[in-house]
Homo-oligomer: A and B are copies of this chain.
Amino acid sequence: MTADKPQKQPDLPPAQPGKSEPPPAPAVRRLSLYLRELEGLPKGEHRTISSKQLGKALGLTDAQVRKDFAYFGQFGHPGVGYQVTELMGRLRHILGTDRTWNALLVGTGKLGQALLTYQGFAKKGFRVVATFDNDPQKIGQQIEGRPDLEIQPIERLGQVVAERGIAIGILAVPADVSQHVADAMVAAGVKGILNFAPISLKVRAGISIASADLTLRLEQLAFGILHQADQD
């Protein structure tokens, strides 16, 4: 009796079995944290590490750590844990830091110049191999006496991206021109952009964006302070 419950399709037979699902975005973000933690381990101190130890170091549960790894395959050894060296290699391979990435930087203001000489990028295999600016005064100047880092006009983006095999663009220009420069980067063949401007960039599908808007971070910090909560 009373037999009229469902308005929606009750339940489609779900997905094609051949199609492996994409990993959850939060899991991918944590992969970087796991790798960072492993790289910070005192060298050679641990040959293996358990999901419990790794999770504790980052404020996560052991189940979370195991689930995250499980999206990408079998990593561990029951009763033993994960071999640190092997795990690091696997994470680097998944994230793509087991190779070198060539990057270009546009915008040689104070932030841009600081980024150019920042050693942390190179340690992870990200090399800035070209610099651009639209200020005629700056064109032709060399950064730290390196001829390969001679500042070039933005018109040359396309040629240089092709010549030097560049996949990543670092965007350190003022907000009002950042969309324009981003378009130029994409047209030049860049596949991903690290964006320091406080702007939500519009790019076509297939182009990746990572935001490094520092004021956004400070805002979140202010909220956290006002509301006594922790984040990160």
A216 located at the interface, meaning its Cβ lies under 8 Å from any Cβ of chain B in the complex: yes
CB-contacts of A112-137 with B (<8 A): 113-115, 117-118, 120-121, 123-124, 126
A231 located at the interface, meaning its Cβ lies under 8 Å from any Cβ of chain B in the complex: yes
CB-contacts of A208-232 with B (<8 A): 208-232
- Distance in Å: Cβ of A105 to nearest Cβ of chain B: 12
A187 located at the interface, meaning its Cβ lies under 8 Å from any Cβ of chain B in the complex: no
In the bound complex, CA of A60 to CA of B161 (Å)? 32
In the bound complex, CA of A94 to CA of B94 (Å)? 38
- Chain B residues with CB under 8 Å of A206's CB are 228
Interface size on A, residues (CB 8 A): 72
Binding site for B on A (CB under 8 A): 22, 25, 28-29, 31-33, 35-37, 40, 57-59, 94-97, 101, 110-111, 113-115, 117-118, 120-121, 123-124, 126, 167-168, 175, 191-195, 198-201, 203, 205-232
Q: Which 9 A-B pairs have the closest CB atoms?
A: A208-B224, A114-B114, A96-B222, A210-B221, A192-B225, A110-B114, A209-B232, A192-B221, A211-B232
